[in-house]
Structure 1
Amino acid sequence: MGLVDRVKSIFKAKANSILNELEDPEEALELSLEELREQLNKINKSLIEVTTVKKRLESNLSDIRDKIRLAQEQADLSIASHREDLAQAALAKKMDLTEQEERISKELKQLEEKIKMITANKEKLERYIYDLQNKKEELIAMNRAADAQIMVKEAIAGVSSDILNINQRIARAQEKIKEKNNKVAAMDELIEINALDVLDETDPIQEELDKIQREEKIKQELEQLKKKKGV
């Protein structure tokens, strides 16, 4: 095999591979049925055409046979009338007509064989279309069941593009939820810190009361110290 042939074979193999991947089984079945029905229509048209030719030849053959009988009658009449020359002409005409009869009969026989062959092929194709039509629903059901199994297995394995998109969406949702929870935790921490700061702050009223108590305590200690010193 030459280089060009090898390149053609490679391109043909790749083209077939791409076609197999793109071709939908259900559409392929329906397309096949349509093409088969078209072939059946062509066979029916061919059968009609051949049968029409056969009928025309049969009509011609019938006319020729009538002419042969007439030529024979003319020959008989000529002999009876002692006209040998006319009898000879009538027999010559009869011979020509007989040759035509044989030729047409032969053509008719061939046409009948063709009609039988076309009819047999037509019946085979009709049965095949009928069987394929009945089989189509079963094949479609099997194809859809296989698609469902593939979807389940892809979902389990997480390998299909749809499942990958779903998994990515779930991952993004989980990340957002995680971020929100982290934000809530941070806010709780900040609130807790602020609460502690609030508790550490001195209340102005309490501060004033503490000051009064302190001064009162100092005053009491001062009075006690004066009494003790006798001042």
Structure 2
Amino acid sequence: MGWLERMGRVLRAQMNSLVSEAEDPEKILEKAVMNMEQELIEMRRALAEAIATQKSTERYIANYQQASQKWYERAQIALEKGNEALAKEALLQRQSYQKQAQSLQAQLEGQNEVVGKLKKDLRTLEHKYTEAKAKKNLYIARLRSAMATQKIHEITSNLNSASSVSVLEQIETKILELEARSQLTSASVTDSLEEKFASLEDEDDVDNANSKHQIS
């Protein structure tokens, strides 16, 4: 299974967990970014190992090719000296090194494909990782907004309009009751003042009447 496919499975599993368990979206995204970072570390390590193997194979091929060339030159020297038997032995050694070089060359081609694919996948993952880090806060805000909106819808759908109206009516009744009490208190204070002044005025009338009787 490829690196990117594995990463996709991890991210999908995390988002499913967010939906099913209502986890903190910030923790989910932080974990996703951390997993992507770990994937990058593992992929870079794998790429480094693949390149190291590739370079090692190239060195072996170069050594075998050099040995092949060396035994070819020895075969020529043997022929020049008129020693055909020795020349044949040298050519057999040359052929052995050539076969080993050819076998490693086939392996090297496969290694080159692996290295090329790893480099391509690494660039793709690096781009995704950079994008995820840059947009993490935006994703968190969007997830929180979506969850808040869903919560509001749930609360709104559960509201009982009749009970709401009843509450409003009770509040209005209470306000009217308080206003009525205030008006009654004000009227009571006014009546009391009126009675006091009326009593004073009656006393003043009596005093005036007595004064007239005394004068006459």
Instruction: Give TM-score scaled by structure 1 length.
Output: 0.56
Question: Structure 1 residue 143: deviation in Å?
Answer: 2.7
Q: Does 1:110 align with 2:110?
A: yes
Aligned identity (percent) is: 24
Q: Which moved more, 1:142-151 or 1:64-73?
A: 142-151
- Superposed CA RMSD in Å reads 2.7
Question: Structure 1 residue 18: deviation in Å?
Answer: 9.2
2:128 paired residue number: 128
Question: Structure 1 residue 87: deviation in Å?
Answer: 0.3
Look at both structures and tell me which one has the larger radius of gyration over its CA atoms. Answer: 1
1:126, 1:134 → 2: CA distance?
12
Give runs of aligned pairs for residues 26-105 of structure 1, distance below 5 A. Answer: 26-105=26-105
Give runs of aligned pairs for residues 1-231 of structure 1, distance below 5 A. Answer: 20-146=20-146, 149=149
Larger RCO: 1 or 2 (CA < 8 Å, sep 6+) = 2
The 1:22/1:94 distance shift into structure 2, 3 A limit, reads same
Question: Structure 1 residue 66: deviation in Å?
Answer: 1.0
Q: Deviations over 1:7-40 (max 9, x none)?
A: xxxxxxxxx7897234221111111111111111
- Which residues of structure 2 form unaligned runs of 5+? 1-15, 160-216
Q: Deviations over 1:21-77 (max 9, x none)?
A: 342211111111111111111111111111111111111111111111100100000
Question: Structure 1 residue 136: deviation in Å?
Answer: 1.3
1:124, 1:155 → 2: CA distance?
43
2:18, 2:137 → 1: CA distance?
26
Q: Which moved more, 1:33-42 or 1:144-153?
A: 144-153
1:78, 1:48 → 2: CA distance?
45
- Which residues of structure 1 form unaligned runs of 5+? 1-15, 160-231
1:113, 1:20 → 2: CA distance?
41
1:71, 1:117 → 2: CA distance?
38
Question: Structure 1 residue 146: deviation in Å?
Answer: 3.9
Q: Deviations over 1:143-167 (max 9, x none)?
A: 33345556766787897xxxxxxxx
Aligned residues: 146
